[in-house]
């Protein structure tokens, strides 16, 4: 009901609202004939076109950003795979190096053991040789002493021959 009263009030020629409405329509009519609204329309169209271009540009930038994101995610996965491969290769290389070093140490220990055994054998041989030499020297000394006592009894010629014979047999 309020709306109907408002319409009667505005269109009532005795009230000021009617004349305000009429003046507003006349001013708007002159403005339309003068082209004032075409400028506003053109400005709104230009603004709309600018907004449309910005939206297209934003859409293109978004698509480009999504492509870059996908590309970087792909590169990240490739880098992770490559890092995994490098780690696996490093583990294999470390195991190979470890086995190689163990083999070298075992070889070194074997060579050292063999060298020690050779030195022990040489020391044994040297000791046996020294014992034989000492025994020969003792035998020669004993024989010399015995023969010198006999030589005093039997003569100088027998002693020299016996000494030479003992020396030849012991060496």
Encode pLDDT of 74-120 as tens digits.
999 999 999 999 999 999 999 999 999 999 999 999 999 999 999 99
Within its chain, how far is the Cα of 19 from the centroid?
88
**Is 54 domain-assigned?**
yes
pLDDT of amino acid 11: 72
**Is 30 domain-assigned?**
no
**Is 16 domain-assigned?**
no
Nearest to 167 by CA among 145, 143, 151, 131: 143
**Is 3 domain-assigned?**
no
Asked if pLDDT for residue 151 goes beyond 60, the answer is no
Q: What is the span of the domain harbouring residue 119?
A: 35-170
Expressed in angstroms, the distance from the first to the final Cα of the chain is 154
Are residues 140 and 166 in contact, defined by beta-carbon separation less than 8 angstroms?
yes
**Is 151 domain-assigned?**
yes
143 pLDDT band, cuts 50/70/90, is: confident
**Is 46 domain-assigned?**
yes
Nearest to 142 by CA among 121, 170, 123, 118: 170
124 token code pair: 């044994």
**Is 9 domain-assigned?**
no
Structural domain tally of the chain?
1
Are residues 151 and 159 in contact, defined by beta-carbon separation less than 8 angstroms?
yes
């Amino acid at each position: 009901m309020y709306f109907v009263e408002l319409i009667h009030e505005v269109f009532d020629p005795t009230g000021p609202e009617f004349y305000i409405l009429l003046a507003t329509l006349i001013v708007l009519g002159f403005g339309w004939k003068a082209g004032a609204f075409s400028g506003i329309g053109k400005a709104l169209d230009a603004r709309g076109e600018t907004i449309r271009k910005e939206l297209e540009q934003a859409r293109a930038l978004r698509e480009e950003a999504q492509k870059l994101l996908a590309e970087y995610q792909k590169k990240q996965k490739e880098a992770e795979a490559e890092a995994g491969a490098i780690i696996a290769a490093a583990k294999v290389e470390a195991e190979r190096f470890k086995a190689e070093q163990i083999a070298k140490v075992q070889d070194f220990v074997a060579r050292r053991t063999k060298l020690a055994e050779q030195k022990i054998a040489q020391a044994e041989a040297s000791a046996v040789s020294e014992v034989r030499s000492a025994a020969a020297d003792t035998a020669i000394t004993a024989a010399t002493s015995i023969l010198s006592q006999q030589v005093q009894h039997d003569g100088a010629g027998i002693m020299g021959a016996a000494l030479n014979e003992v020396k030849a047999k012991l060496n």
